[in-house]
Amino acid sequence: MENLDVMVLRTLRDWRAGGQHALLATVVRTWGSSPRPVGSIMALREDGVVVGSVSGGCIEDDLIDQYTQAYAAAAAPGSAGRAEPKKIPSGPPAFIKYGVTAEEAHRFGLPCGGTLELLLEYDPDAAALAQLVESLEAGHLTQRGVRLQDGAVTIAAATQPAALSLSASELVNTFGPEYRMLLIGAGQLTEYLATMALFCGFAVTVCDPREEYRSGWHVAGAKVLSDMPDDVVIAFKPDRRSCVIALTHDPKLDDLALMEALTTDAFYVGAIGSRRNNGMRNQRMAEHFGMSEADLARMRGPIGIYIGSKTPPEIAVSVMAEVLAVKNGVELPRDMEVAHAKDELAVAGNDAGEMVCWVERSPH
């Protein structure tokens, strides 16, 4: 599943290029709790088709009702004499606020005290949308500015991610290319982790030079490569929207790839394994590759948050949760770290919580 923002913008581009009327809604302010964060977007086509979201569904329904719901009824056979269909208007962008009162918050399914404000852009310019999507598909971080007076759009390169900004004259929203995940090894755990990452909007690449593992791969949507992992990491060019995770337990495959990944801006670099294996890996990389303590401190291991995971899907949930926490800038409590939790169990004389380390066998 591709990045949601890119999907919304690409779909809206195609609608407008095809001459269809549509609007783009952006969450610009929230007060209290809200279903979707500032910067979230959705597109609404003239016939009521929606892509993306700005709430749990009730606000989307209201926008459909305001701008398009009568469209189908008026166009239906036997509709003579009915009111003219509601249409997406033309003109400059407009603000709309939901959840101002408790009654309205309840009506629109907003949490207690929740209020949000949207900016609605009517019939966004197709050429500007095409330029934005082209930039995102090329992997560039991009700013989209909207002049509130008339809806004129500017597209510019961005140097770093930024929160949505709104002034008296302009809205600026920064869109990034898809988050990317590079997985070393095509075993069973990788299949579960790749599936979860795809559903979370990551573009997933899997690298495994072992043909017997690649031949058993069953996850559609992930790119599978056969080159040596360290070469793949170099070609992958991890950036601040990338993570690299080694899952083979084989130093010949994992170590060099991890060494290359640690020299990049990847927001997450980690490797599967027990506390003992993690310690041995750090020792090898320091002694044989000259990796510094600062470099090794960036590498996560044992990876995941402690949930007592035993099976491949449970371990994948644990790892994906940690990746998302790091991506979203959430500092996890130390007692959620796998290594810390296992140390506590060992001190208590019960190391039964040690994550199962299994040998993955090829299907042939």
Q: Mean pLDDT across the chain, nearest whole number?
A: 85
* E strands, 89-130, in order: 94-98, 115-122
Section 161-182 average pLDDT? 92
Q: Give CA–CA dist 171/118, Å, rounded.
A: 11
pLDDT digits (tens, 9 = 90+) for 31-82: 776 677 899 999 999 999 999 999 877 888 889 988 886 455 555 555 554 5
Helix 312-327, helix 188-199: angle, nearest 10 = 40
First to last CA, the chain: 30
Section 168-178 average pLDDT? 92
How many beta carbons lie within 10 A of that of residue 157, not counting itself? Answer: 9
Q: What are phi and psi of 112, to 5 degrees?
A: -55, 125
pLDDT higher at 73 or 92: 92
Instruction: Kindly state the helix (H) or strand (E) to which residue 268 belongs, with its residue range.
Output: strand 268-271
- Both tokens of 330, joined, read 């959430």
Q: Give CA–CA dist 64/103, Å, rounded.
A: 20
How many beta carbons lie within 10 A of that of residue 12, not counting itself? Answer: 27
Task: Name the DSSP class of 150.
Answer: T
Query: What is the three-class DSSP state of 188?
Result: helix
Fold annotation for 180-347? Rossmann fold (3.40.50)
What is the pTM (predicted TM-score) of this model? 0.70
Q: Name the segment(s) of the chain with CATH classification 3.40.50.720.
A: 180-347
Which residues neighbour 159 within 8 Å (Cβ) at sequence distance 6 or greater?
A: 141
Section 4-27 average pLDDT? 95
Which residues neighbour 147 within 8 Å (Cβ) at sequence distance 6 or greater?
A: 153, 154, 169, 170
Whether residue 118 is predicted with pLDDT greater than 60 in this model: the reply is yes
Give the Å distances, CA to CA, from 51 to 48, 172, 246: 10, 21, 35
Q: Give CA–CA dist 95/256, Å, rounded.
A: 52
CA angle at 22 for the pair 177 and 221, rounded to the nearest 5°: 35
pLDDT digits (tens, 9 = 90+) for 301-349: 889 998 888 899 999 999 999 999 999 889 887 666 766 566 666 655 5
Q: Give CA–CA dist 127/52, Å, rounded.
A: 21
Q: How many residues does the chain have?
A: 364
pLDDT digits (tens, 9 = 90+) for 220-229: 999 999 999 9
Which residues neighbour 29 within 8 Å (Cβ) at sequence distance 6 or greater?
A: 38, 116, 117, 166
**Centroid of chain to Cα 91:** 33
Cis-peptide, bond into residue 302, ω within 30° of zero? yes
Confidence of residue 190 (pLDDT cuts 50, 70, 90): very high
Whether residue 361 is predicted with pLDDT greater than 90 in this model: the reply is no
How many beta carbons lie within 10 A of that of residue 206, not counting itself? Answer: 25
What percentage of the chain reaches a pLDDT higher than 70? 81
Q: What pLDDT does 362 receive?
A: 40
Token match 């783009």: residue? Answer: 24
Whether residue 356 is predicted with pLDDT greater than 50 in this model: the reply is no
